[in-house]
Amino acid sequence: MTQRYSDGTVTVSNGSTTVIGSGTAWEVALVAGGILFVGTDAAVIEEVVSDTELTLTRPWTGDPATNASYDIVLDSAEAARTIIANRQMADIVARINAGIALDDIGAMGTLAERDDYDDEAQGFIYGVTDDASGDLVVYVKASATNGDWAGPFAWRGPAGQQGPQGPRGDGFDYTGQGTPSDSIGNDGDTYLDTDTGDTYVKAGGTWGSPSGSIRGPQGVDGADPGIFMTFDTATADADPGAGNFRADDSDLSAATELYVSKTNRGGSDVSAWLLALDDSTSAVKGTLTITDPDSEAQTTFDVTGVTDATGYVKVAISNHGGATAYPDETPIGLMFSRTGDAGTGAVSSVNGKSGAVTLVPGDLGAGTVGEGVFEADTQSEAWTALGEVPEANLTNALAATLSNSGLIYNGTVSSIDIDAVDAGFKGLVDPDGVGNSGTFPPETASFWSISVEAQYSGTGRAVMRAVSYSAGDPDASGQNVSTWVRYKGSSSWGPWSQVLTSGNLPQATQAEMEAGTETAVRSMSPANVAQAIAALASGGGGGKNLLINALGTINQRGYTSGSATSSANEYTVDRWRVVTSGQSLSWTESEGVRTFTAPAGGVEQVIEGGAILSGDYVLSWDGTATATVNGNAVSNGGTVTLTGGSDVTVRFSGGTFSLPQLEMGDKATDFDARHPGQELFLCQRYYEEGTDLNGIYVQYNASYCRFNRVGFKATKRVSPTMTISGTRVGGGSGTIGSLFNSNEDADGFAPIFSISGGASGNVFVGTVTFTADAEL
């Protein structure tokens, strides 16, 4: 016989195994094993947790229900009897919980004496006076069955009468908008003006002036939101419409121009701000940051030029970093950080007095290369000529350097870990042993220019660069620049590492540098500085993982997961190659981490020997794959000994792997994730692609034309293997044919193509598409 239990209501969520009841007595009714019905949905009950909670045998697949009617079905005669009996028991328990009087108790005595009443009828109440708690407890006959008792239950009497209402708390007697009228309230009453937060106390029949306010002080101003715009996913070179901006490519990492409305989202004219983006005389005018305030996604570009157009401005961009796309009509803030003007060449010499200080400007501007030598009578004059401000001591100089660079660590300049920085710089800026007191740098010895070269948003990380300046004649000394960098991690500064500069002159050693060797300054190119710093930040300068693109998210070749390779050692995602032809690399991705499946023949990365110092290294990863280093098996977290300057091959085979890391030391540490823009820059040292790059062709005879020189985004490891094609877009005449000569080196290329149908002297606009391969 089928019986139902449906007292009260239930609440259950889709996908949950927990059912919550209201006004139910499931534990007493023993409904375990029954079937719960809510509407047309049903599930089997696995456990009765309490009178108001059930656990189902599987997650609820029906519609969610809140305080809904229900049925619990028990399909047997015994189940029916059980439900009926337990409903009666539930009523008894409810009476006990509500409180019973002493005369409701049928008998009282010890627990042992209760046996004399085992044959009483259902509902008989027996009070036990010797319970271990010391309190009176009661037992209830659950049924007429001999000895079938339920309990113990704590005894409590019936509820008493409600006590008198307490005094009113300290609220306001009256509230309203504006000043209170004297026609309301009595002396001693209070009033709150909800518009202003002012409070009043009535005295002498009037409210008078405010006696105080519940409004707190005004908060601090929020961060500068920049210029408000709306992102438009269209890519055409045209007016994007008032308040909008767009890029020339749906993938922002491939974009070369932005098209920005001359009015912002609120209708304000921002054309002057936009046209001033290229006011700097440096090649890179500054950094443009795009921010989605809702998702906090950001994109950065270097700005290289601005073109005025009707209703909008074209902004030439490069060096993408961060997010690669935003949804259409996303509200965006645009912020710009301007680069300083480039230097203007050599500074004329000044007739110096005895003891004149000779300085070389070096790379003091933003991305400029100083070439002149000048003299000054005093160090103060030298600082003035260099555009620098001397500081009284090392601590002040470091703080000023960091502050001027825009780096605020832990919120304020004053909270910079000066002691940690001081310890690293002390030997560098104090070659004559005078300590960090007095002027900075010492006037009578070599000194150092200290600058922040790069910083990483949100982590407090930075790269600092120190360049030596000599008190002697740099031309006479015949020495090359001594440039050193160090990397700031999340808590401490890493060791100083030397950046090799262009030229064949000998480098100063670190020991010589720390001892105060006088070294002339010849600044390296900005591109080489950036590349060296990126390499050091990812490896020797503080970024510990020597595997490039360890997350596998940089994929310039557009390799598709699981695609079979057509040759041995074929590259897939950047820096990773499949060893055996016909095999493939596949992956799944979750929360920004790719888990790769390595084929039986293996997938490997060759690490350039220049990133290796002699010593012990540890290899770690997550997954089931096996690994070798230079052909020798390595366990997860195992160590290998490597020789400095020699290439290293790391291979994973026959299983899954993610978060791979090769680091110096004998103990694996947490995975070191680099910024995607930095990771891309490192990959481009070995491989780079460019599609439809705009430029100028010049036809210099009847058969050949030359395209303007194209610079690589990153200097290549060696002169790369090139594939190049060209297309005429407009102007001139003729058809561009095959590549004749790529004229490439490690920094770029200037291709020559055959041409038919044109004439010598033609100049026309066109594009080139290329790949540059310098892989190991």
Give the closest residue to 201 by CA, choosing from 214, 186, 217: 186
Alpha-carbon Rg for the chain, nearest whole angstrom, is 40
- Tell me what pLDDT residue 518 has: 27
Domains of the chain, by residue range, sit at 2-89, 102-154, 227-338, 357-538, 570-681, 687-773
Q: How far apart are CA 29 and CA 26, in angstroms?
A: 5
State residue 80's pLDDT score: 47
- Extract the tokens encoding 702: 């009847």
What is the distance between the alpha carbons of residues 616 and 643, in angstroms, rounded to a whole number?
9
**DSSP labels for 266-334?**
TS-B-HHHHHGGG-SSSSS-EEEEEE-TTT--EEEEEEEEEEEETTEEEEEEEEEEE-----TT-EEEE
In angstroms, rounded to a whole number, what is the distance separating the alpha carbons of residues 482 and 500?
8
262 token code pair: 């001359």
Of residues 682 and 541, more confidence is placed in 682
Residues 6+ apart with CB under 8 A from 644: 609, 612, 613, 614, 615
Q: Give residue-wise pLDDT tens across range 564-576.
A: 999 999 999 999 9
Query: Which one of 2.40.128, 3.30.980, 1.10.3470, 2.40.30 gives the CATH number of domain 2-89?
Result: 2.40.30
Shortest CA distance to 391 belongs to which of 365, 409, 413?
Answer: 413
The answer, yes or no, to whether residue 403 has pLDDT greater than 70, is no
Question: The domain 687-773: what is its CATH number?
Answer: 2.60.40
**Alpha-carbon gap, residue 337 to 403, rounded angstroms:** 15
What SS3 state is found at 446? coil
pLDDT at 259: 97
The residues near 79 (Cβ < 8 Å, ≥ 6 apart) are: 1, 3, 34
DSSP 563-594: PPPSSTTEE-STT-EESSTT---EEEEETTEE
Instruction: Quick: pLDDT tens for 338-387.
Output: 888 765 543 333 333 333 232 333 332 222 222 233 334 444 554 454 44
Over residues 377-398, mean pLDDT: 45
Note the pLDDT of residue 161. 66
Q: Which of 724, 574, 729, 693 is nearest to 249 (CA)?
A: 693
Strand 638-642, strand 593-598: pairing: unpaired
Question: Tokens for 488?
Answer: 């700031």
Length of the chain: 776
Q: How far apart, in whole angstroms, are the C-alpha atoms of residue 519 and residue 477?
A: 8
Q: Is the pLDDT of residue 399 over 70?
A: no
* Average pLDDT of every residue of the chain: 75
Rounded to an integer, the average pLDDT of 711-720 is 94
Residues 530-539 have pLDDT tens digits of 444 444 334 3
Q: What are phi and psi of 596, to 5 degrees?
A: -95, 150
Fold annotation for 570-681 = Jelly Rolls (2.60.120)
Cis, peptide link before residue 152, omega less than 30° from 0:
yes
Residues 6 or more apart from 183 whose CB is under 8 A from it?
none
Closest CA to 774 of 538, 533, 584, 606: 606
**pLDDT at position 165, please?**
63
> Tens of pLDDT along 650-670?
999 999 999 999 999 988 888
In 3D, which of 598, 553, 603 has the Cα closest to residue 576? 603
How many CA atoms, within 13 angstroms, populate the side-chain half-sphere of residue 453? 28
Contact between 677 and 645 (Cβ < 8 Å): no
Label residue 102 exposed, middle or buried (CB < 10 Å: 0-12, 13-18, 19+): exposed
